[in-house]
Structure 1
Amino acid sequence: MLGGALLLTMVAAQVATGLHPQPIRLTSTVVLLLAAGALAFATTAHTFPRAVAAFGAVVATGYAAEWIGVRTGLPFGDYGYSGLLWPQLGGVPVIVALAWGGMGLAAHATAAAVAPESRAGRLALGALALTAWDLFLDPQMIRLNLWTWHDPGPYRGVPVGNFAGWLLVSLLVMALVDHLVADPAARSTGLVSIYTVMAAMETIGFAAVFDPPDPLVATAGGISMGLFALLAWRRGWRGHRDR
C-alpha cells in the first residue's frame, strides 16, 4: 500500500512538473518519490534488509560512477553538473545517486519478469532497460541546465559514448542487485509498474507537455522503455494464465 501511494504521488508530481513553473524542484520531488516507492516495493518482494542492501549498493555504485565521471570523463564522457541540484557531494548531486537506486531496482525487476530463469538474461536485459531510461533522462536534464557536455554529441547534444558508459555501469548495477536480493527471479509488479509509469510519463512529456515538444526523444525513449515494459507485463500475464 505504501509503494502504491508513493507511485500515485509520483505520477501527480510528474504531471505538476509539466504545469508548474518550478520544474527543477518538482523533478527532485519525483526522484525522491521514485526512490522511496522502489524501496517499498522491493521490501515486499525481498524483505527490508535485502531491499535496503540492494538499494544502497546501487546508490553507492551510481554515485561512484558519477564522481569518477565528472573528474575523468570515464565512463560517460566529458561532462559536468551545474549548481542547480543540491545537496552535492564531491560535485555530484545526491538526487542523482538516488535516481540510480530507484530505477536500478525497477529495471532489474522488469528484466526478472522477462527472463526469470536466466541470470545472464536478467543482467543483460536489466542493463539495457536501465540504459533505455537515459534516452529520456539526458535530454531532459540538458533542457533544465542541470548538466552540460563539454563535447556535445548527435543525440540532442548527448555523445554516443555516454550510452556505452551507461550500459557498462548498468551491468554492474544489475549484477549487484541480482546478488543481494533474496530471490532474483521474484516478480515485483510494483517495481515493474514504476518502470512502466516512467516510460509512459516521459513519453507523454516529450511528445506533448514540454515546451517545445521533442518527437525524436519521445519516440526513441518511448519505444525503448516501452518494449521492456511490454515484455515484462506480457510474461506476467502469460504466467498468470498458465496457472
Structure 2
Amino acid sequence: MGVGCLASMVAAQVASGVRPDPVRWTGPVVGLLTAGAGCFAASRLGAGRAVRAVGAAVALGYAVEWVGVRAGVPFGRYSYTKVLRPQVGGVPVAVAAAWAGMGLASHAVAATLVPDGRRWARVAVGASALTAWDVFLDPQMLRLGLWRWARDGAYRGVPAGNFAGWLGVSALLMGVFESIVGVEQDVAEGLVATYAVMAVMETLAFAAVFEPRDPLVAVAGGTAMGSFAVPAAVLATARRFAGTRAAGRGDRWPR
C-alpha cells in the first residue's frame, strides 16, 4: 500500500503542475504523502506504533501551527488564508498532516545515516532534513497564496527566523519519533524513497514546471534536500542488497 500511495502522490503532484488550479491538488498530495508514510512505517513497526507516530506528529504539528498563527512563535508572525480547506481553528488540516508524512520520512533518513546508538545525532540530522524540505515548501505555498508573512523576508519572502523555528519544532518531532519508533534499519527503505522522491519532484517543479520558474529555489532546495536524500538512498540501497545476499532472497523492497 505504501508504494501505491507514493505512486499516486507523484501522479497528483504532476497533475498539480500541469493544471491551471494547483491548489485543489494540495490536499490530495498531502493526504497520499501521509498515508504512504504511515503504511511504510506500519509494514516494519506494526500498525499500532505507526498509528501512534502519525497521530503524535499530526497533534504536534497542529499545536505548533495553532500557537504560531496566534502568538507569532516559533516561526514568526504569519497567517493562513482561506484558500486551503478544511481548517480547524485557523489551521489547515493538510498542514498538520504534512508534519507527519515528511516527519516520518525525515526520521527514516536520519535512522539510515545514523543507525547506531547516537540518538541525539539522529534527532539533529532528522530535524535538519525536515527543515531542508521547507526551503521548497514555503516559497511554493506563498506563491499559491496559502499563507502570508506579516513581514517579507529575504528568501523569496520567507523570514530567516522561520527556518530557525522549523529546526526547533523538527527536533522536537524527531524526539517524539525516537520515543515511539526508535531506530530500526529496516524501517528506512520506503520512507527514504518518499523523501528522495519529494526532493526530485520539488526540484523539477521549480526548475521546469512552475510558472514563473524559479531556478534559485530549485538549486537551494535541491541542494538542501539532496544532501540528505542522496547519501541516505545510497546507504539504504546498499543495506538492502547486503541483506538480500545474506538472506538469499530479495522480497522486501519496499513494502
Q: Same fold (TM over 0.5)?
A: yes
Name the amino acid aligned to 2:38: L
C-alpha distance after superposition, 1:145-201 (max 9, x if no partner): 000001110000000000000000000000001110164444421111110110000
Aligned ranges for residues 178-197 of structure 1 at < 5 Å? 178-181=178-181, 183-197=183-197
- Structure 1: distance between partners of 2:113 and 2:219: 22
Q: Percent identity?
A: 56
Q: Runs of at least 4 residues of structure 1 off by over 6 A? A: none
- Residues 240 and 51 from structure 1, CA distance in 2 versus in 1: closer, same or farther, beyond 3 angstroms? closer
- Structure 2: distance between partners of 1:189 and 1:152: 38
- Structure 2: distance between partners of 1:111 and 1:160: 24
3-state SS of paired residue (2:79):
strand
- Structure 2: distance between partners of 1:46 and 1:227: 27
**Residue aligning to 2:216:** 216
Structure 2 stretches lacking a partner, 5+ long:
247-255
3-state SS of paired residue (1:188):
helix
Name the amino acid aligned to 1:194: T
- Structure 2: distance between partners of 1:155 and 1:184: 36
CA-atom RMSD, angstroms? 1.2
Aligned ranges for residues 23-42 of structure 1 at < 5 Å? 23-42=22-41
Residues 112 and 186 of structure 1 are in contact (CA less than 8 Å); yes or no, is this contact kept in structure 2?
Answer: no
**Residue aligning to 1:132:** 132
- Residues 120 and 185 from structure 1, CA distance in 2 versus in 1: closer, same or farther, beyond 3 angstroms? farther
- Residues 102 and 240 from structure 1, CA distance in 2 versus in 1: closer, same or farther, beyond 3 angstroms? closer
- Structure 1: distance between partners of 2:64 and 2:10: 28
Q: Are 1:115 and 2:114 matched, yes or no?
A: yes
Structure 1 stretches lacking a partner, 5+ long:
none
Q: How many residues align?
A: 242
Aligned ranges for residues 1-243 of structure 1 at < 5 Å? 2-117=1-116, 118-181=118-181, 183-240=183-240
TM-score (norm 1): 0.96
C-alpha distance after superposition, 1:74-100 (max 9, x if no partner): 000000000011111111001100001
